[in-house]
């Protein structure tokens, strides 16, 4: 069975100053993770009414984050 997921913009009227190069959403569909060209990983809360708010930003990569994957349990 396919589940339809609506498209969601991770910013409002103005795009962020960093370049998003990778996007992943968690299985529970409550967190969006983005990787950026500047080497940052951002975590965003996603509410049931599709409101997005920033949660955390992780620094430390010295190159672009072009791929995201979840770890196995």
Q: Is residue 69 part of a domain?
A: no
What is the count of structural domains for the chain? 1
CB atoms within 10 A of CB 16: 13
Distance of CA 41 to the CA centre of its chain: 8
Tens-binned pLDDT, residue by residue, of the chain (73 aa):
566 655 555 556 665 566 889 999 998 989 999 999 888 898 999 888 888 888 888 888 889 999 999 887 7
Give the span between the Cα atoms of 62 and 36, in whole angstroms: 11
Give me the domain span that covers residue 28.
20-59
- pTM as predicted: 0.71
Q: Is residue 47 part of a domain?
A: yes
pLDDT of residue 49: 85
For residue 11, report the phi and psi dihedrals to the nearest 5 degrees. Answer: -150, 170
Q: Is residue 1 part of a domain?
A: no
Q: Is residue 43 part of a domain?
A: yes
Q: Is residue 72 part of a domain?
A: no
Residues 6+ apart with CB under 8 A from 68: 22, 23, 24, 33, 34, 35, 41
């Amino acid at each position: 069975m396919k589940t339809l997921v609506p498209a969601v913009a991770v910013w409002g009227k103005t795009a962020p100053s960093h370049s998003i190069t990778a996007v992943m959403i968690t299985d529970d569909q409550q967190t969006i993770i983005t990787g950026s060209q500047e080497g940052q990983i951002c975590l965003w809360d996603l509410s049931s009414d599709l409101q997005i708010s920033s949660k955390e930003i992780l620094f430390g990569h010295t190159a672009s984050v072009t791929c995201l994957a979840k770890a196995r349990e």
